Structure 1
């Protein structure tokens, strides 16, 4: 076996281990999340309303796709497939937003991230239902793992999306989530939005969502500029 082939095999093993671990922790975290008893105001829309759960679902799809791509690889190249060129930038941006929003609010403004419950004496209380390690499975490990996969194992930076395409994609994602919530939450007299910071009137709600989408686009550009590799393909003349 040549040194190049050996190095490629070692890289494949590392990618499989990384994505296998992430697949395990993310799947377990998502499972534990679905066992949480939701307050009455959130029960009708269910667990599918939370951005954390939605992003984790697509991260799991990425992990499966990445593992499948490595196992079925014959050309020796581990880049250029749909998992690393389309799924990875999308889930990386969304997981960045989830982590960036969650931990500062979780640590300092928990009332903006968790809906309160009313106890028997009528006092509203906030209770975090998941242990810290599951919290990290949900809100930290996915981002760390995706960053390692991108910066360590992807030879070239993102290149399938032009700047305009990436920006429009971020705006479409924000719009899709907004429409999804509007579909799930139909009675504001008995239901609340999944996060208290979204329980505000329009246009403030939309401003929050689209501002976060612009932050996500900013991180996409940052990750792209920090990657040590060069862009290849159709997008490089526009962005590099």
Structure 2
């Protein structure tokens, strides 16, 4: 099947679908399907907006305009979340004070799009009260990313320690996690969890010293490096 789209008037688009019947392969059948002009404009604006959102320097005022214009379009909403993630790949404390940034993060945390909530959960500018809510999300990956965020309240992090493994694992690299939890995670059977504990700047000295004797040489090395960085060797 071949599809051709052409503008026939200033108010309507027609899609001409050409198909070849099996019994008469040389006699194509043409069907004209009208597409409302408004829909065509919407499609063009949508694609243009998605392209704009690929720019991490796009003004937040424009990002908000796009979000509000396509708030029910989960693909565009996801791109808005991705745009905020791109611009926070390097932490900028001042950006977190931008009321537009905070407003967008709050609104994205309430969307049905799991990817958007996922992005908000790991964003360093997400307010603690939003992280508290995301820590109760029905999707375990969203909760796991809330567990990695240093802005998540300590009491919430302690509660997440009783969650399923993928969520608990997220705690291991979080510098805001209470020392007693890091001490428990240092004995985890998963070497990647122990690795993150060994690299964590908040891991107690005695826990790091124990990890220098870890059976995995990479974990042991990471603990040694962490101790040296602190001048505790």
- Whether TM-score is above 0.5 comes out as no
Greater RCO (Cα-Cα under 8 Å, separation 6 or more): 1
Higher strand share: 2
**Which TM-score applies when normalising by structure 2?**
0.24
